[in-house]
Chain A
Amino acid sequence: MVDPTPFPIPEAAMTIRDLTVAYQEGRVLEGVDARFAAGAMTAIVGPNGAGKSTLLKASLDLIARRTGEVRVFGAPFANMRQRVAYVPQRAAVDWDFPARAIDVVQMGLYGETGALGRLTGGLRARAADALARVGMADFAKRQIGALSGGQQQRVFLARALAQGADLYVLDEPFAGVDAATETAIVAVLHSLRAEGRSVIAVHHDLATVPAYFDRVLMLNRRVIAEGPVGTAFTQTTLAATYGTALPQKVPA
Chain B
Amino acid sequence: MWASLTLQAGYNAALVSLGAAMLGLTAGAVGAFLYLRRRALVSDAMAHATLPGIGLAFLAMAATGGDGRFLPGLMLGAALTAGLGLLCVQAISARLAEDAAIGIVLSTFYGAGIVILTVVQSAGVGRPAGLEGVLLGQASAMLASDVTVIALGAAVILLALWALRRPFAMVAFDAGHATGLGLRVRLLDTALLALTLGVVLIGLQVVGLILIVALLIIPAATGRLWSNRVGIVVLIAACVGAVAGYGGAAISATAPNLPTGAVTVLLAFAVFGLSVFIAPRGLLARWHHGR
Contacts and interface: CB of A to CB of B under 8 A. Distances in A.
Q: Within 8 Å by CB, do A and B touch in the complex?
A: yes
Contacts of A22: 290
A248 interface: no
B222 to A, nearest CB: 20
Interface in A21-45: 22, 24
Nearest to B287: A24
Interface in A1-52: 22, 24
Nearest to A23: B290
B286 interface: yes
Interface string B265-291: 000000000000000000000100010
Interface in A147-198: none
A24 B287 CA distance: 9
A22 B287 CA distance: 13
Contacts of B290: 22, 24
A22 B290 CA distance: 9
A36 B178 CA distance: 46
Nearest to A22: B290
Interface in B234-291: 286, 290
B286 to A, nearest CB: 6
A24 B286 CA distance: 8
Contacts of A24: 286, 290
B272 to A, nearest CB: 20
Interface string B33-59: 000000000000000000000000000
A22 to B, nearest CB: 7
Contacts of B286: 24
A1 B290 CA distance: 44
A22 B289 CA distance: 12
A155 to B, nearest CB: 22
Nearest to B290: A24
Interface string A64-90: 000000000000000000000000000
B228 to A, nearest CB: 14
A83 to B, nearest CB: 35
A20 B286 CA distance: 19
A110 B75 CA distance: 56
A43 to B, nearest CB: 32
A3 to B, nearest CB: 41
Nearest to B289: A24
A24 B288 CA distance: 11
B81 to A, nearest CB: 30
A178 B286 CA distance: 43
A58 B161 CA distance: 46
A66 B290 CA distance: 12
B264 to A, nearest CB: 32
A6 B290 CA distance: 41
A249 B286 CA distance: 41
B113 to A, nearest CB: 32
A22 B286 CA distance: 13
A49 to B, nearest CB: 19
Interface in B118-160: none
A97 to B, nearest CB: 12
B93 to A, nearest CB: 13
3 contacts: A22-B290, A24-B286, A24-B290
Q: Ordered nearest first, which 3 A-B pairs have the shortest CB separation?
A: A24-B286, A24-B290, A22-B290
